[in-house]
């Protein structure tokens, strides 16, 4: 499928030059001759990449780009790769501002067809990789948030850095209540946990360890936690992963079973004592 390129530029000769180079290289091409027309064409044409002239009447390139990034009407297109074409010396502070906002590149005029095609191909490839990574990230975040178990991460000092939706429901807290708070501070046996975490540092993981965790209503919930160390891409220790299952229902059923056994034993003893 052809990738679609939108050029927003008030110079007609630039449209002729870019269209010739891009169509020859297998791209689809659409023209807009000012910023307002460009924003209209953006929603109609839905391009894969935008070439945006910096010096235009009414709205310059930076103003158009800022509109795309901040106006909710163009939210769908806010992550599109955008190249600003400029023959003027751009203020470095302003340039850095827009690069930090996500602007893909500046391309100085005049430029050759080969240079234009290369930068477009590179940006489209990079954007494709970014989208793949973002989809995978969104999928994993969705899995984590849909888990009924509590998933909590800690930094190396034991401060909470993340909680999933399952933890919020289980304990009644929001992430604001817990973030940057000490995990040990919510546990009934904090001294025992300090010893436990020293063992985690030696053994890397501990599974199904029961902890009584204080919920927002000040009741302690029995939770079976599994702990493991987190390491970064360079295998440097960066914190802890804690995954907890609420044991309240299991404890309730165990108590019911024990009560039935006790009553059964009592009834049996009464029967044995009858003449």
We report the CATH number of the domain holding residue 212 as: 3.30.450.20
Say whether both 158 and 235 belong to one domain: yes
Q: Which residue has the higher pLDDT, 116 or 203?
A: 116
Say whether both 119 and 166 belong to one domain: no
Say whether both 184 and 250 belong to one domain: yes
Calpha distance 48→69 (Å, rounded) = 15
Answer yes or no: is pLDDT of 235 > 60.
yes
Looking at the domain assignment, is residue 261 inside a domain?
no
Work out the average pLDDT over 189-212.
Answer: 83
Answer yes or no: is pLDDT of 263 > 90.
no
Neighbours of 85 (CB within 10 A): 24
Q: Which residue has the higher pLDDT, 193 or 108?
A: 108
Contact in structure between 36 and 63 (CB atoms under 8 Å): no
Collapsing DSSP to helix, strand or coil, 93 comes out as: helix
Work out the average pLDDT over 166-188.
Answer: 92
Say whether both 81 and 159 belong to one domain: no
12-25 pLDDT, tens per residue?
999 999 999 999 99
What does the radius of gyration of the chain's CA atoms come to, in whole angstroms? 30
Say whether both 117 and 42 belong to one domain: yes
Looking at the domain assignment, is residue 71 inside a domain?
yes
Say whether both 12 and 121 belong to one domain: yes
Looking at the domain assignment, is residue 92 inside a domain?
yes
Looking at the domain assignment, is residue 271 inside a domain?
no
Looking at the domain assignment, is residue 151 inside a domain?
yes
Smallest CA-to-CA distance from 36 within 76, 55, 63, 3 is with: 63
Q: pLDDT class for 275, splitting at 50, 70, 90?
A: very low
Calpha distance 175→165 (Å, rounded) = 9
- Residues spanned by the domain of 26: 4-128
Looking at the domain assignment, is residue 267 inside a domain?
no
Looking at the domain assignment, is residue 275 inside a domain?
no
What's the pLDDT at 258? 85
pTM of the model: 0.62
Mean pLDDT rounded to a whole number for the chain: 89
Domain count across the chain: 2
The residue assigned the tokens 């604001």 is 176
Answer yes or no: is pLDDT of 124 > 90.
yes
Answer yes or no: is pLDDT of 267 > 70.
no
Say whether both 192 and 235 belong to one domain: yes
What's the pLDDT at 139? 87
Calpha distance 240→229 (Å, rounded) = 5
Looking at the domain assignment, is residue 17 inside a domain?
yes
Q: What CATH number is associated with residue 17?
A: 3.40.50.2300
């Amino acid at each position: 499928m052809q990738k679609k390129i939108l050029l927003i530029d008030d110079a007609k000769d630039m449209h002729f030059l870019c269209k010739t180079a891009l169509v020859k290289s297998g791209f689809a091409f659409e023209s807009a001759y000012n910023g307002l027309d460009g924003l209209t064409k953006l929603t109609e044409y839905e391009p894969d990449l935008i070439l945006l002239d910096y010096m235009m009447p009414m709205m310059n390139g930076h103003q158009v780009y800022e509109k795309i990034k901040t106006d909710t009407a163009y939210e769908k297109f806010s992550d599109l790769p955008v190249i600003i074409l400029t023959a003027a010396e751009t203020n470095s502070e302003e340039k850095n501002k827009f690069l930090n906002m996500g602007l893909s590149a500046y391309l100085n005029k005049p430029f050759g067809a080969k240079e234009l095609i290369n930068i477009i191909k590179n940006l489209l490839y990079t954007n494709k990789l970014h989208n793949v990574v973002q989809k995978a990230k969104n999928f994993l975040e969705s899995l984590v948030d849909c888990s009924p178990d509590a998933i909590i991460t800690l930094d190396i000092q034991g401060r909470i850095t993340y909680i999933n939706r399952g933890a919020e429901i289980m304990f009644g807290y929001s992430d604001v209540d817990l973030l940057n708070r000490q995990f040990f501070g919510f546990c009934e046996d904090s001294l025992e946990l300090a010893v436990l975490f020293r063992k985690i540092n030696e053994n890397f993981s501990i599974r199904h360890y029961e902890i009584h965790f204080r919920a927002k209503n000040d009741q302690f919930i029995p939770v079976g936690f599994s702990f493991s160390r987190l390491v970064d891409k360079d295998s440097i220790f960066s914190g802890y992963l804690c995954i907890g299952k609420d044991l309240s229902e299991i404890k309730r059923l165990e108590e019911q079973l024990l009560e039935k056994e006790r009553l059964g034993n009592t009834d049996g003893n009464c029967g044995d004592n009858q003449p």
